[in-house]
Amino acid sequence: MEAYFDNSATTRVLDSVKELVVKVMTEDYGNPSSKHRRGMEAEQYVRQAASDIAKTLKVKDKEILFTSGGTESNNLALIGTALANQRAGKHIISTRIEHASVYNPLAFLEQQGFEVTYLPVDGEGHISLEELKKSLRPDTILVSVMYVNNEMGAIEPVEEIGALIHQENPKTLFHVDAIQAYGKLVIRPKKQGIDLLSVSAHKIHGPKGVGFLYIDEKVKIKPLLYGGGQQRDLRSGTENVPGIAGLGLAAREMYTDHQKKMDHILALKDHMIEEMENLEGVTVNSRRGMDSAPQIVSASFLGVRSEVLLHALEDKGIYVSSGSACSSNHPAISGTLQAIGVKRELLDSTLRFSFGLFNTMEEVDYCIQTLKELLPMLRRYRRM
C-alpha cells in the first residue's frame, strides 16, 4: 500500500482540473489580451475563475488578483501595501510562526526602514489578542497573521483579530495568509475584517504555479511587476490561463459539498491522533476536531530523528514531511515548534502528516501499524 500524507506540501490534482488545464493548453490557448476570438475565449476562462473564487468568499470578482502562487501573493500583500501606505506609518505587526514567504518580505521591509513587531504564541499556537492590542499604534499600517499554521495546524481567531484591528485603528490593513486554510475552512473576508488574503492552487488539488490575492477594493497597493498593465495594472504579464482555469475549478470543487469533504478529512485526522496518542513516546502537537485545522497532524517521536523516521516511512510507501516543504532546502529547527514550547529533545523528532481528498481510513491504519513496527526498531538502533 502507498499512503501520501504530505498534502500540506502539495496535493494531487483533481481529474476534472487536469482535463480542463489540458484543454486550455491545447485547444483554447489564446492570449487573453488578444482582441480576436481566441483571445476572448481565453479571457472568459480568467473571468469565470475570478467569479467562481469570488463566490466562495462572498466578495466581488474584481477583488481577485491572480498570481504565481502563495509566495507571490504574500510578497505583494506585504511589500505592495507597505510601500503604498508608508506615509501613514512604517509599523507592521506579524507573529513568530509565519511562513518564510511572510518572514522574508518582512525582513526586506525592515531593511527599507519599516519596523516589525513579532507577536509570540501560546502552547496551542495562538496569539494573544491582548498582546496584539498593546502592539497596535497610530502608525501601524499593516497586521499579517497566518490563518492556519502550516506545521501544526493552529487556527488563529481571525475574525476577532480583524475586529480588534479595525476597532483600534480603522486605517490599519489586515492581511491573512490563508494558504493552508482556503478550501478547508469557510472564509468570509468582509465579515471577518480581512483586507488581503493569500491563496495557492496546489494546496487545494489545483495546479502548481498559480494562486490569487484577494484585495479589498478600498485597499491602496503598489504592484511589484511592471509591464503590459494586465489585471488592472496590478500584476503585469500574460495571465497563466490554464493554471487560472484549473484554480477556479479546484476552488469550485472544494466548496461543493464542502462540509462532507471536510468531515471525511477531519475523521482521518482524529483517528490518527487517537491512535498516535496510544503509541509509546509519541507526543501529538495538533488538536482533535476543529480546535486545529482538519488536515494537519504534527507529532513528535521521542528518541527518533525526524529525517530517519521520514525515510523509514518512505521505504514503506508512506510520504510525510519533517516541516515546511517550501523551505526544505534550508533545514533548520522549526521556529514554530520552538514558539509553541515543544521540548528540546523533540524539536528534531517531529513529523507532519497532512490529508487531502484522496486519503482513506485504511491508509491511516496502515501508517499506524507501520509506526508500531518501526519505532521500537529505530530506537534500539539509535542506542547501539
pTM of the full structure? 0.94
Closest CA to 203 of 257, 145, 162, 254: 254
- Range name among 42-56, 186-200, 339-353 with the lowest pLDDT average: 339-353
Segments of 147-193 assigned E as strands = 173-177
Task: Determine the pLDDT at residue 96.
Answer: 93
- Range name among 112-121, 205-214, 327-336 with the lowest pLDDT average: 327-336
Is there a contact between 153 and 297 (Cβ–Cβ < 8 Å)? Answer: yes
Amino acid at 103: Y
Query: Side-chain half-sphere of 288: how many Cα atoms within 13 Å?
Result: 9
pLDDT in tens, 106-125: 999 999 999 999 999 998 89
Is there a contact between 155 and 293 (Cβ–Cβ < 8 Å)? Answer: yes
Amino acid at 210: V
Residue 85 pLDDT greater than 50, yes or no = yes
Overall average pLDDT of the 313-342 stretch: 70
3 state SS of 173: strand
The residues near 277 (Cβ < 8 Å, ≥ 6 apart) are 284
326 part of the active site: yes
Residue 140 pLDDT greater than 90, yes or no = yes
- Residue with the bigger pLDDT between 213 and 322: it is 213
Using pLDDT thresholds of 50, 70 and 90, give the confidence band for residue 331: very low
d(CA 231, CA 64): 9
DSSP calls for 73-125: HHHIIIIIHHHHHGGG--EEEEETT--HHHHHHHHHHHHTT-EEEEE-B-TTS
Overall average pLDDT of the 228-241 stretch: 96
Residue 339 pLDDT greater than 80, yes or no = no
Q: Would the CA dihedral through 54, 59, 60, 65 be positive or negative? A: negative
Q: Dihedrals φ, ψ of 320, to 5°?
A: -135, -175
Which residue out of 326, 339, 342, 346 is catalytically annotated? Answer: 326
Task: Determine the pLDDT at residue 330.
Answer: 42
Question: Residue 5's CB: how many other CB atoms inside 10 A?
Answer: 25
For the chain, give percent helix, strand, coil, nearest 5. Answer: 45, 15, 40
% of the chain residues with pLDDT over 90? 89
Residue 383 pLDDT greater than 60, yes or no = no
The residues near 109 (Cβ < 8 Å, ≥ 6 apart) are 78, 79, 82, 92, 116
Kind and range of the H or E element at 354?
A: strand 350-354
Task: Determine the pLDDT at residue 329.
Answer: 45
